[in-house]
Structure 1
Amino acid sequence: MNILIYVYNGITMLDAIGPYEVLRNIDGAEVNFVAEKIGSITADSGFIDLNVKHTIDDYSEADILLIPGSTISFMKEMKNKNVLNWIKDIDKTTKWTTSVCTGSLILATTGLLRGLKATSHWKSIQLLTDYGVIPTKDRIVEQGKYLTAAGVSSGIDMALYLSYQLVGEKETRAIQLTIEYDPDPIFDSGNLSKADKATKHLAEKKLSKVAFKSLGLIGMMNHAKGILKMMK
């Protein structure tokens, strides 16, 4: 089973690594990170790099394609015709095409989600409407072979659901235990519907801070329209 995770500079690392830790434990799975160019991919935090050894030109088919999101760099990927065309070509061969967080916006730009329901990070989910996609505030949204997950940590849940569809309950339970995924957070504020106004405000400030750090002033100016829409 060939699984490709597309990565790019500015990704939120857990969007890619969370699902990877689940999917790599599926018997017979071969998981590869791919980018436009071989070399170092830097996370939106600026502190973590991923050494990518394969380019998108190395692959013309896959059983599963996963597109992670980012704080702001997904907007650049949404304009990258080379990547968008590659996604559409790979999608013709996949059994499952998936995304995490704002990765769904990259996927939506290809037109593959038009008329379908999808989810994304709570801060950017309404941008899906620009591409004829129906925003759905569920943690995981399944539409045929398309699986979209909400923000960041939901990628783990999505990967476990995908594992269940591929290899069944017995193996998926074992994978969940292997990574000891037993969430029990100290606070119940991980969903927008559960967060109070002050928590939401502080979260938005933190997201804005990472966005400015990720792109800098010139990048923010280039993506001003989309950023302003996200901040409403």
Structure 2
Amino acid sequence: MDVAFVLYPRMTALDLVGPYEVLAHQPEVTAHFVAASPDPVTTDAGLAVVPTTTFAELDRADVIVVPGGGGWAEALADGVVAAWLRAVHPTATWTTSVCSGSTLLAQAGILAGRPATTHWALRDELAALGAVVRTDRVVVDGTVVTGAGVSAGIDLALTLVGLLWGDERARFTQLFIEYDPEPPHEVEVPGEPAADLVAFARGVFAGR
């Protein structure tokens, strides 16, 4: 099973690595890091990730994982990721995104009129791109799965494991990676966040 993890400049490392750690250890999986070129891609926090293939070389995948991150707006403007998604999505078993990666799925037309989730600070942007925005941590609609912000990529990947190989495999994977969050601080993810908080978060995503 070929799983393509999409790379683009200033993506968020956890959006990529969380799902990668859950999925790449499954014995059926061959993982691919796919990008516009073979050059290393630098995340928004400075981690360099080396692609294993390019958009021009990889024309299909069973599962596609699109991370989000600070570079989402630039990736939208560039249009290269969306163009590749339009080409490979029709033959994929599952097309997925984490955080602001959902905006790239939407740009490719994959989320038109479909329920989807994203980081709470980008719900308006996702709606403007044609998705029916939900606030769930993971949304499954047909062959498309979207995850909310950053850490939700682990939940998304565990959901995929259950869909692909059954709940028992998913439970084992969750146990194996000891995914039993007990955050040190009590924080409620905003349902309708304050305008100044949204503005600040958007600035972070934009790299300001």
Q: How far off is 1:209 after superposition?
A: 4.6
Question: In the TM superposition, what whole-angstrom CA distance separates every residue of 1:64-86 from its partner, at most 9, and x where no partner exists?
Answer: 01110012x11121133333221
| Distance in 1 of aligned mates of 2:83 and 2:108 | 8
- Partner in structure 1 of residue 57 of structure 2: 58
| Distance in 2 of aligned mates of 1:70 and 1:164 | 26
Structure 1, unaligned runs of 5 or more: 214-232
Question: What one-letter code is carried by the residue in structure 1 that aligns with 2:48?
Answer: D
Aligned residues: 207
- Partner in structure 1 of residue 161 of structure 2: 163
- Partner in structure 2 of residue 211 of structure 1: 206
Whose helix proportion is higher, 1 or 2? 1
- Partner in structure 1 of residue 127 of structure 2: 129
What is the CA RMSD across the aligned residues, in angstroms?
2.0
Q: How far off is 1:205 after superposition?
A: 4.1
Structure 2, unaligned runs of 5 or more: none
Q: How far off is 1:112 after superposition?
A: 1.4
Question: What one-letter code is carried by the residue in structure 1 that aligns with 2:54?
Answer: T
Contact 2:66–2:102 (Cα < 8 Å) also in 1: yes
Deviates more, 1:97-106 or 1:204-213: 204-213
Q: How far off is 1:204 after superposition?
A: 6.0
Q: How far off is 1:193 after superposition?
A: 3.9
| Distance in 2 of aligned mates of 1:125 and 1:209 | 15
Contact 1:3–1:30 (Cα < 8 Å) also in 2: yes
- Partner in structure 1 of residue 68 of structure 2: 69
What is the DSSP-based 3-state SS (H/G/I as helix, E as strand, rest coil) of the residue aligned with 1:127?
helix
Structural mapping, 1:63-212, within 5 Å: 63-71=62-70, 73-193=71-191, 201=197, 205=200, 208-209=203-204, 211-212=206-207
| Distance in 2 of aligned mates of 1:192 and 1:8 | 28
| TM-score normalised by length of structure 1 | 0.83
Q: How far off is 1:171 after superposition?
A: 1.6
| Distance in 1 of aligned mates of 2:123 and 2:192 | 17
| Distance in 2 of aligned mates of 1:76 and 1:10 | 9
Residue 31 of structure 2 is aligned to residue 31 of structure 1: yes
| Distance in 2 of aligned mates of 1:92 and 1:148 | 17
Question: What one-letter code is carried by the residue in structure 2 that aligns with 1:60?
Answer: D
| Higher Cα Rg, which structure | 1
| TM-score normalised by length of structure 2 | 0.92
